[in-house]
Amino acid sequence: MPEDKTEQMALLPPFMVSIKGEELAVRDALGQFLSALQPLSLSVEEAGTVELVLAEVLNNIVEHAYPEADTAGFITIACAHRQDGLHLQITDEGKPMPDGIAPLGQRASLDVELDDLPEGGFGWFLIQDLAKDVLYQRIGTENQLTMRLAVAVQPTAAS
């Protein structure tokens, strides 16, 4: 049976980036990931979207899933390029999300006094605003976040 047309049209073979869940490793992971995407010739805006979303996810994992640096485990980012964009699966074995669900990612009100501005909480809003099909699951001892970034989208072939 021939392969699915979506898979045949991929310009980039699936790849993975794995790093230790530490603050300094995030920059390295972003560099590796963007370098692997070079064959797609992403626009500056598309590359910026990928970098921003991935940086938010990785920094959240380092800060919340692996809060003690001496016990930090690994983070793995798997990427598959398909006709509708980049499909990402990010996994770690850190602490689960509170109540086993991802935050809602609501826009914070900026119409407040400077001293009352929230210090954080923008990351999940950005992730859910810029990515599609965002799904968090705790499977056994593993956090699994999947999403699609609608970049490097390929035109649909005429039927």
Q: What is the pLDDT of residue 121?
A: 57
CA angle, 41 then 77 then 30, to 5°: 55
pLDDT in tens, 11-29: 799 999 999 999 999 999 9
| pTM summary value | 0.82
Per-residue pLDDT of 33-77, as tens digits, reads 999 999 999 999 999 999 999 999 999 999 999 998 788 899 999
Name the one residue in this structure whose structure tokens are 């980036």. 17
- What share of the chain has pLDDT > 70, as a percent? 79
pLDDT (tens digit per residue) in 69-97: 788 899 999 999 999 999 999 999 999 99
Whether residue 142 is predicted with pLDDT greater than 60 in this model: the reply is yes
132-139 vs 74-82, strand pairing mode: unpaired
Tell the CATH topology of 5-149: Heat Shock Protein 90 (3.30.565)
Q: Kindly list the domain boundaries of the chain, sorted by start residue.
A: 5-149
| Rounded CA separation 122/120 (Å) | 6
> How far is it, in rounded angstroms, from Cα 118 to Cα 108?
7
